[in-house]
Amino acid sequence: MFERHKGGDRAVLVCLDFNEPDYRDGQEEFVQLVESAGVTPVAMIEGSRRKPDPAFFAGTGKVEEIAEAVRANQAELVIFNHQLSPAQERNLEKAIQCRVVDRTTLILDIFAQRARTAEGKLQVELAQLSHMSTRLVRGWTHLERQKGGVGLRGPGETQLETDRRLLGIRVKRLKTQLETVQKQRQTQRRARERSNQFSVSIVGYTNAGKSTLFNALTKANIYAANQLFATLDTTSRKLFLDQEHSVVISDTVGFIRQLPHTLVAAFRATLEETIQADLLLHVVDVNHPLRDMQVEEVNKVLNEVGAEHIEQLMVWNKIDLKGLAPAVEHDEYDKIRAVRVSAAQGEGLDLLRGALVDAMSQPVEE
C-alpha cells in the first residue's frame, strides 16, 4: 500500500471506523495528507468502534496492536486520522512509548511546510500555538531562544507556568504583527474598490485544480502540484477577459473535511479576500467520486468565514479525465451556473472567460 513513498519519519497510521458511510475515501485522503507532510507510512491500523474511548480514543487491545506495529516497523511516529484530546494524546504516548499526533497537528504541520509569505507564516504559527497550548507537555525552549531566555523565569514559577507565559507573549506578538499586515491588505483592497475593479476569488476543495486554473488563465507561475494544500497564500493577478473587460482574480487555500477550527480562525485574514469578492469561482474535480461531499465541505467553510452570500459560478474541472467536452451549463432562468473545463489541458477557458464577462454584466443583488 505504501511502496511508492520514500523518506521522512516512519509512521504507523491509525484510522478507526465509527460507522461513517465515506470511511474508505476518508482513509485514502488521510494517506494523501500523511504523504503530503513528507512522512513515510509503514503500517495502517484499522478497527471499528461505536464511540471513542475516553482515555485512549482506541480500545486497550487496539493500543497494544499499535504499539506492536511501532516496534515491528521501527516507527518514530503514530498518526491518528482523528482529533485527540490532550489527555488522550499523553496517555497514548505513555502506553505506546512513541510520539503521537492527531489529524489537526498533521494538517498544521503541512501548512507550516507550505507557507511562503510573511503573513502565511504568521498565521500558521498562530494556529500551531493555539492548538499546542493545550498540549504543554514537552519543552518550549524554542520560545525561550526567540525571547532571549535569561531572566524570563519568575520567582517560584514551575517550568509549565513559564512555558505558558512564554507562549502567551509569543501569541500576543504574532497577533500584533498580523494586525499590521491586515491593515496593509485593507488599504490595497480599498484602492481596488475605488478603481471599481470587479474581483473574483477561486475557491474549492484541496487538489481540485485551483492553482492550475489560476495559472492557465493568468499565465502566472504559482506553485501547483498534485498534492494536498499545494497553495496556502492568496495570490492576486489582473486578468483581461477581452478588450473591454478585466477582473482581479485571486487564488486561495484549498479546503478539506474536518478543517481545524484554529486554521479557519487563523486564516480568516487571508480568506477575507474571498469574503470581499464579487464572484466566487468554485472549482470542483468532476472526476472525483466524492465531488458532492467536497462541494458541501467547501460551502461549510465559506459559511464559517461569512462568504455564503456571494454569488458562485461552478467550474467543473478535469473533464479530460472524465471524457467530457467543454460546455456551459445554464439554469432554468437561462443564467450560466457552471462551466466545464480542463485547466491542465487548457480546454474550455474561453467559455469560462465569456461566463465571467456575463457575470460582470449581471445586476448586483441587494
301 is in an annotated binding site: no
334 is in an annotated binding site: no
| Interatomic CA distance for residues 69 and 42, integer angstroms | 9
117 is in an annotated binding site: no
All three cell numbers of 64, joined, read 497494544
Domain-by-domain residue ranges, the chain? 10-101, 116-177, 197-361
Task: Say yes or no to pLDDT of 194 above 70.
Answer: no
253 is in an annotated binding site: yes
Residue 119 phi, psi (nearest 5): -65, -45
b/e 17-48 (16+ beta carbons within 10 angstroms → b) = eeeeeeeeebbebbbbbbbbbebbbbbbbeee
| Interatomic CA distance for residues 204 and 181, integer angstroms | 25
Residue type, 29: E
All three cell numbers of 130, joined, read 493555539
| Cβ 284 vs Cβ 133: under 8 Å | no
320 is in an annotated binding site: yes
Mean pLDDT across 249-256 = 82
Question: What's the CA angle centered on 48, arms 43 and 50, to 5 degrees?
Answer: 145
Q: What is the pTM of this model?
A: 0.73
Do 10-101 and 197-361 come out as alike in CATH topology?
A: yes
| Interatomic CA distance for residues 88 and 86, integer angstroms | 6
Residue 308 phi, psi (nearest 5): -70, -20
Please give the class, per CATH, of domain 10-101.
Answer: alpha beta
Least confident of 183-187, 216-220, 309-313, 315-319: 183-187
The DSSP call for residue 255 is B
pLDDT at 364: 55
344 is in an annotated binding site: no
May I ask the CATH architecture of the domain 197-361? 3-Layer(aba) Sandwich (3.40)
236 is in an annotated binding site: no
121 is in an annotated binding site: no
CA 244 to chain centre: 36
Q: How many residues are there in the chain?
A: 366
Q: 13: closest CA among 36, 56, 43, 48?
A: 43
All three cell numbers of 257, joined, read 473535511
Mean pLDDT across 320-324 = 93
34 is in an annotated binding site: no
30 is in an annotated binding site: no
**pLDDT-derived band at 151, boundaries 50, 70, 90:** very low
180 is in an annotated binding site: no
Q: What confidence tens digit (pLDDT) does each residue in 41-95 have?
A: 999 999 999 999 999 999 999 999 999 999 999 999 999 999 899 899 999 999 9
285 is in an annotated binding site: no
Task: Say yes or no to pLDDT of 241 above 70.
Answer: yes
Q: What string of DSSP letters covers 312-337? A: EEEEEE-HHHHTPPPEEEE-TTS-EE
Distances (CA, A) of 274 to 87, 93, 203, 287, 311: 37, 40, 8, 25, 11
61 is in an annotated binding site: no
205 is in an annotated binding site: yes
238 is in an annotated binding site: no
204 is in an annotated binding site: yes
Mean pLDDT across 190-203 = 76
231 is in an annotated binding site: yes
317 is in an annotated binding site: yes
CB atoms within 10 A of CB 245: 14
Residue 198 phi, psi (nearest 5): -70, 130
| Interatomic CA distance for residues 90 and 84, integer angstroms | 10
pLDDT at 158: 58
* Coil, helix or strand at residue 15: strand
